[in-house]
Structure 1
Amino acid sequence: MVGGGFAGLWAVRALKSAPVRITLVDRGNHHLFQPLLYQVATAGLSAPDIAAPLRQILRRQKNVVVRMATVSTIDADAKTLELDCDGGNETLAFDYLLLATGATHAYFGNERWAAHAPGLKTLDDALDLRRKLLLAFERAESETDPDARDAWLSFGIIGGGPTGVELAGTLAEIARHTLQGEFRNIDPSRARVRLIEAGPRVLASFPEDLSEKARKQLERLGVEVSTGTPVKDITADGYRLGETFVPAKTIVWAAGVSASPLGECLGVPLDKAGRVPVEPDLTVPGHPDIFVAGDLATLKQANGKPVPGVAPAAKQMGKHVAKAIRARLKGVGIAPFRYRDFGNLATIGRMAAVVDLGAWKFSGIVAWWFWLLAHLFFLIGFRNRSVVLLNWSVAYWTHQRAARIILGGDDTRC
């Protein structure tokens, strides 16, 4: 199993009692609850609140060996992996292989933008972004030039999907509530938070009425929502929206993803996002012993739409792979993978969210409570749930955020 995210981990755990030997390979040593990554970036939670060591999670599963390493090459015909470890290279043979290495940022051919508009996919990304966001207010406090100060207090969030919406809403709350009364030379509430979506509406995967409610909730929080006009350029000084250049020192990229480059090692055609088109049983065409799941895979559902790149889909794929391996060991077949859509959730800010459960759609405070309970339920480990609930309770009553310490980087010095 390559990848300790939702697909990989759920596959491993579903094989707990199976007569197999599992090697789980991941570049990091932890499983990350990505849906709450933006909370680390905006100082609401600390890194350990949404992550847990893979060895700790799997300590009682005796048929698993965890390896912290990078897969450099895959020989699909010889059924071997080349691992790049601290101690050198190592060849690992397999009978069955699951690739579930997720996705990374996609700048649509404008890779130079990455230096000025970081994305949010890993804990390192979140910690870097948190430092960048908090430092913006510190730089504005010490700036004497009004135009330069305004640029430090201008935040551009590019991409109107759930990550962009959640970041924009939370950042607006920080500026208007959390930081009030803490600065002497600036008024944090004057910070300009703009959410930019090239398409006609935010949260395009939600029904149109919920999308409109999300927009109105964002605007009530003080977020400027721009739709229908794409960003044409990004520099260290700001971004160009249409023909207008907007000075902004802090820009966040939440507009697109590209599959992990590991899929290229399989030697099969990939889609334009680098994902591996898989068979209905999630195997690679021509390689029935190699499975691909999660954001690295692309598969059309019965309705013609692709399985979405969301955590529930990755978990279901992981479980299906485990079921398929068990069936292979018994010499029987299983039905093709079928994604069960349990709905869409997105939080916008304090007491504001939207929920689409198909027949049931709601927004506002009820949706916010539903979102909160759902995310607490899916967090791994009692400690994580307890700490997150405590931090959210404190934030709710005080507007304070528990992790506002600026760490790392020489840019913290005067």
Structure 2
Amino acid sequence: MTLISNSANHRHRVVILGAGFAGLSAALKLARAPVDIVIIDRHNYHLFQPLLYQVATAALSPADIAAPIRGIVGRFPNVRVLLDTVEDVDRRTRRVYTAGGRHVPYDDLIVATGATHNYFGKDHWQQWAPGLKRIEDAIELRRRILLAFEQAEMEEDIATREALMTFVVVGGGPAGVEMAGAVAELARFTLARDFRNIQPENARVVLVDANERLLRPFPPSLSRKAAKTLGRLGVELILNARVDGMDANCVRIGSRVLPTHTVIWSAGVRASPAGRWLKVETDPAGRIPVDETLRLPQDPTIYVLGDVASHRNPDGSHTPGVAPAAKQMGRYAARHIASRLRDRPAPGPFRFRNPGQLATIGRHSALGHFGRLKVSGYPGWWLWGLAHIYFLIGFRNRLMVAANWFWSYLTFGRGVRLITGDMPSIAISTRETAHPPSSRHTPTAKSAGPGGSS
């Protein structure tokens, strides 16, 4: 086991677990303080998660929304980055243990390890309904979506073809709404002229949510606008209904069965196993209750931030698990630590200041809620785009995303339509295998039915 020792001057050490929005904001805010900082993350990049769905639908490349952690913090000599996975935390000796055999001592610990998908006790569904939290998830979803059209192009059985061209998105929050709209636009506009035996524009996109309306954090009027916009894109809504079961070939919603081979999960999140590392109680979603200063009530040397924290604001409201909240938490924790080290008055209780909410539903349509101000349609779309470009890290990423969006706006094209990984064997219908290759029927025209038929 390797000990990551303190530097020769034995300065105060802050260890940050996770380089997401909260962890990176804390590191950048603390970087000029008289401390040594160690960032531990299992990836070597910071990911802008709000645009992951655009990677999954071939609008952006993974490199457009990610930046190397070392490239972000490399100019600060007191910041060290470890590419490793946390396995345990010993609060008594103040050490973090990693899968790489390291134990890293700390004076203050910032836990900002984020969240993963929540299948509400049905974790085996993940094999059929992947979520969208990592670059790997986005690439896998892109692969499944594009491959479904390729398989449908070669499939002669009408029922199988229709199942291949049915895409079910579970969860009607911002991520689910954005994903459903993006898949519908991909099929209707980008792929419409790419195939010969199928009509991608007739693909069926179904959005399922257990609530009576979409986008519950938004006002009801904006939820209704979102539903109308999705309807114009051809997305079917099944609201106030829960998914009861699924397998590789279908999704079951009560008595209804939807044949499909592509399910996208966006129905909930579950915090990382930080509660287990810290040996503390968590809520049902795995989040750790923190006090008004974002610290463990049992241990003032540990700050818990972002999706892994359960925090109540002074007015009693819960701090939501969104990127602006994570950034504010990170900056607050950094100020709190710096004030203690400099013997200055600590900042008051953390209070989340909501800058507003944004969600896009496709080309020329987005929703924004900023207190009493509500925007939608074309103005909302421009505001959404400008906000996301502004908050991306790095000039290159901002430039590339803006260029890709401008090109897509002019041409309806998506230039990252790559299917990666090993290709599965494509099942050929029995009707086709009944004849030698020379006598196989060659379709000459598209059908007007869903997905087309030969």
In the superposition, the TM-score normalised over structure 2's length comes to 0.89
Which amino acid in structure 2 is aligned with residue 310 of structure 1? V
1:104 and 2:100 aligned: no
| Post-superposition offset of 1:111 | 1.0
1:82 and 2:97 aligned: yes
Change (3 A) 1:413 1:385: farther
1:344 corresponding residue in structure 2 = 357
Which amino acid in structure 2 is aligned with residue 361 of structure 1? K
Change (3 A) 1:183 1:202: same
| Post-superposition offset of 1:299 | 0.5
1:250 corresponding residue in structure 2 = 262
2:180 to 155, 168, 172: 168
User: For the residues of structure 2 that align with 1:49 and 1:218, how far apart are their CA atoms?
Assistant: 26
1:34 to 49, 68, 80: 49
1:386 and 2:399 aligned: yes
User: For the residues of structure 2 that align with 1:165 and 1:409, how far apart are their CA atoms?
Assistant: 30
Judge conservation of contact 1:107–1:256 (CA < 8 Å) in 2: yes
Judge conservation of contact 2:292–2:313 (CA < 8 Å) in 1: no
| Post-superposition offset of 1:264 | 1.5
Judge conservation of contact 2:314–2:349 (CA < 8 Å) in 1: no
1:400 and 2:423 aligned: no
1:289-309 residue CA offsets vs partner (Å, 9 max, x unmatched) = 000000000111233221000
| Post-superposition offset of 1:211 | 0.6
2:318 corresponding residue in structure 1 = 306
Judge conservation of contact 1:406–1:412 (CA < 8 Å) in 2: no
1:215 corresponding residue in structure 2 = 227
| Post-superposition offset of 1:268 | 1.4
2:381 corresponding residue in structure 1 = 368
| Post-superposition offset of 1:330 | 1.8
2:445 corresponding residue in structure 1 = none
Unaligned runs of 5+ in 2: 1-15, 428-454
| Post-superposition offset of 1:33 | 0.2
Which amino acid in structure 2 is aligned with residue 11 of structure 1? A
2:210 corresponding residue in structure 1 = 198
User: For the residues of structure 2 that align with 1:239 and 1:76, how far apart are their CA atoms?
Assistant: 45
1:187 to 195, 199, 213: 199
**Identical counterparts, % of pairs:** 49
1:235 corresponding residue in structure 2 = 247
Give SS of 2:126's match.
Answer: helix
User: For the residues of structure 1 that align with 2:223 and 2:425, how far apart are their CA atoms?
Assistant: 38
User: For the residues of structure 2 that align with 1:316 and 1:343, how far apart are their CA atoms?
Assistant: 14
| Post-superposition offset of 1:334 | 2.2
1:295 to 297, 302, 307: 307
1:279-322 residue CA offsets vs partner (Å, 9 max, x unmatched) = 10000111000000000001112332210000000000000010
| Post-superposition offset of 1:62 | 1.2
| Post-superposition offset of 1:412 | 7.4
2:37 to 22, 45, 48: 22
Which amino acid in structure 1 is aligned with residue 98 of structure 2? L
Unaligned runs of 5+ in 1: none
1:110-144 residue CA offsets vs partner (Å, 9 max, x unmatched) = 11111110000000000011000000000100001
Judge conservation of contact 1:194–1:223 (CA < 8 Å) in 2: yes
2:60 corresponding residue in structure 1 = 45
Judge conservation of contact 2:249–2:259 (CA < 8 Å) in 1: yes
1:377 to 390, 399, 402: 390
User: For the residues of structure 2 that align with 1:64 and 1:52, how far apart are their CA atoms?
Assistant: 17
1:49-90 residue CA offsets vs partner (Å, 9 max, x unmatched) = 0000000111111110010001111011211011122xxx01
Which amino acid in structure 1 is aligned with residue 390 of structure 2? F
| Post-superposition offset of 1:413 | 7.2
Question: Which has the higher Rg, Structure 1 or Structure 2?
Answer: 2
1:317 to 303, 319, 329: 329
| Post-superposition offset of 1:363 | 0.5
| Post-superposition offset of 1:204 | 0.6
User: For the residues of structure 1 that align with 2:262 and 2:268, how far apart are their CA atoms?
Assistant: 18
Which amino acid in structure 2 is aligned with residue 173 of structure 1? E
1:156 corresponding residue in structure 2 = 168
RMSD across aligned positions (CA): 1.0
Give SS of 1:92's match.
Answer: strand
2:155 to 122, 140, 143: 143
User: For the residues of structure 2 that align with 1:140 and 1:209, how far apart are their CA atoms?
Assistant: 38
User: For the residues of structure 2 that align with 1:377 and 1:295, how far apart are their CA atoms?
Assistant: 22
Q: How many residues align?
A: 411
User: For the residues of structure 2 that align with 1:137 and 1:237, how far apart are their CA atoms?
Assistant: 15
Judge conservation of contact 1:259–1:275 (CA < 8 Å) in 2: yes
Which amino acid in structure 2 is aligned with residue 36 of structure 1? L
Which amino acid in structure 1 is aligned with residue 68 of structure 2? P
User: For the residues of structure 2 that align with 1:412 and 1:308, how far apart are their CA atoms?
Assistant: 43
Judge conservation of contact 1:173–1:349 (CA < 8 Å) in 2: yes
User: For the residues of structure 2 that align with 1:412 and 1:380, how far apart are their CA atoms?
Assistant: 40
1:256-271, aligned counterparts within 5 Å? 256-271=268-283
1:108-119, aligned counterparts within 5 Å? 108-119=120-131
| More moved, 9-18 vs 295-304 | 295-304
Give SS of 2:257's match.
Answer: strand
1:70 and 2:74 aligned: no
1:358 to 371, 396, 404: 371
Give SS of 2:367's match.
Answer: strand
User: For the residues of structure 1 that align with 2:196 and 2:398, how far apart are their CA atoms?
Assistant: 37
Extract structure 1 runs of 4+ deviating beyond 2 A.
Answer: 302-305, 331-334, 409-414
Which amino acid in structure 1 is aligned with residue 341 of structure 2? L
Judge conservation of contact 1:103–1:296 (CA < 8 Å) in 2: yes
| Post-superposition offset of 1:26 | 0.2
User: For the residues of structure 2 that align with 1:25 and 1:403, how far apart are their CA atoms?
Assistant: 31
| Post-superposition offset of 1:349 | 0.1
Which amino acid in structure 1 is aligned with residue 244 of structure 2? K
